[in-house]
A and B are shown apart, each in its own frame.
Chain A
Amino acid sequence: MSAEPPSKGHGRTGGHDVVRPFVMTGGRTRADRRDLRIETMLTAVPGATTSGLSAEQVKLLRLCQAPISIAEASAELGLVIGVTTILAADLVSEGRLEVHQTDPVEIELDVLSRMIDAVRAL
């Protein structure tokens, strides 16, 4: 994190500096994995080391000791969703993070029943 951002955010930034976060991703604004969505669950691979990781990636890996969604990890880290997704994609490709199965299959009736029971019990 020694590089300076190219500039403060331009355009409508609502007071947020939105360019700076993407410095953590080397300027990338899109992950090259399509299976990482905001609700995708991640878990650290048992025995994964933190060597060579940035401070943010270490924090992300620690959060993922228990299964956590990208959205929750983003909220915890105070990072924009897109940044978390890219950091996570790198950790997945390095074999440090595992993606929970995310096949967009049609939902089965028994899964719906379990959800209905859970909502009724609220």
Chain B
Amino acid sequence: MTIKHDDRPAGDAWKPRIRPVKFVVAGGFGAGKTTFVGALSEIPPLRTEAAMTTVGARVDHRRGSEAKTTTTVAMDFGRLTVDEYLVMYLFGTPGQERFGFMWDDICTHALGAVVLVDTDRLDQSFPAVDYFEAKDVPFVVAVNRFEGTTRHDLGAVRDALGVSSHVPMTECDARHTESAKQVLLLLLDELVNAARARAAATVV
């Protein structure tokens, strides 16, 4: 059996060249990650599972499972096609703190990140903030304004989170596309500034 292909020259004439650009949406449990992804994605968020292996948690000498404990964590993600050569992916990180180390699989080569904050559970945002700062992943912080809650003093949230003053911070309503858009645009602006700064440094 042969897999059919349409509109594509055979052999070396065709080279695959779609560039996927990855963004990470992080935050504590219930901070609105999937809602945020859904507000921006052209498809309903997809759910997939990643296996998490804890090495050394328990010794088991059977083949293929030596000294490892494996479990899975669900991850929701969405897609935004820019053009035929460029597609953006938004990955929601599993929220639990104990899965922090598997973020490497998700975050490697991520262009940037959004940390969603639920001010009732500020402490749940710490792992994400710490992670992106440690890994030098550009990020913005968005305080998700849940229905019925009052506006927050972003300065107070910044102080409470211990986020550096150069990290952009904003409020949003993750349920609404327009609001989620502004958060992503804030991140993209930050990336533009960083790219310009790099270019300027190279010229000098």
Q: Which residues of A are at the interface with B, using a C-beta cutoff of 8 A?
A: 6-7, 9-14, 16, 18-19, 21-22, 26-29, 37-41, 43-44, 46-51, 61-62, 65, 67, 69, 71-72, 74-75, 80-83, 98-102, 104, 106-109, 111-120, 122
- B residues 1-53 touching A (CB-CB < 8 Å): 1-5, 8-11, 14-22, 40, 46-51, 53
A10-B16 contact given A47-B3, A119-B188, A120-B181, CB 8 Å threshold: no
B198, chain A: closest CB distance, angstroms: 7
Q: Which residues of B are at the interface with A, using a C-beta cutoff of 8 A?
A: 1-5, 8-11, 14-22, 40, 46-51, 53-54, 57-58, 60, 62-65, 68-72, 75, 77, 79-83, 86-89, 91, 105-106, 108-109, 111, 177, 181, 184-185, 188-189, 191-192, 195-196, 198-199
Q: Which residue of B lies closest to A69 (CB)?
A: B20
Most chain A beta-carbon neighbours within 10 Å: one of B51, B80, B189:
B51
A115-B21 contact given A6-B65, A49-B1, A72-B79, CB 8 Å threshold: yes
B102, chain A: closest CB distance, angstroms: 10
Q: Which residue of B lies closest to A22 (CB)?
A: B64
Chain A residues positioned under 8 Å from B40 (CB to CB): 119, 122
A119-B181 contact given A47-B10, A51-B1, CB 8 Å threshold: yes
Per DSSP, chain B at the interface is mixed
Q: Which residue of B lies closest to A101 (CB)?
A: B17
Q: Which residue of A lies closest to B11 (CB)?
A: A46
CB–CB A39/B20 < 8 A: yes
Chain B residues positioned under 8 Å from A27 (CB to CB): 63-65
Chain B residues positioned under 8 Å from A111 (CB to CB): 19, 21, 86
Chain B residues positioned under 8 Å from A39 (CB to CB): 20-22, 89, 91, 109
- Please report the C-alpha to C-alpha distance between residue A21 and residue B109 in the assembled complex, in whole angstroms: 27
CB–CB B68/A29 < 8 A: yes
CB–CB A115/B3 < 8 A: no
CB–CB B3/A29 < 8 A: no
Instruction: Sort A-B residue pairs by CB-CB distance and give the 6 closest, nearest first.
Output: A27-B64, A11-B69, A75-B46, A39-B20, A100-B16, A118-B82
B83, chain A: closest CB distance, angstroms: 7
Q: Which residue of B lies closest to A51 (CB)?
A: B1
A62, chain B: closest CB distance, angstroms: 7
A38-B5 contact given A75-B47, A100-B17, A114-B86, CB 8 Å threshold: no
Per a CB cutoff under 8 Å, which of B17, B57, B63, B189 touches A11? B57
B51, chain A: closest CB distance, angstroms: 5
Chain B residues positioned under 8 Å from A102 (CB to CB): 20, 109
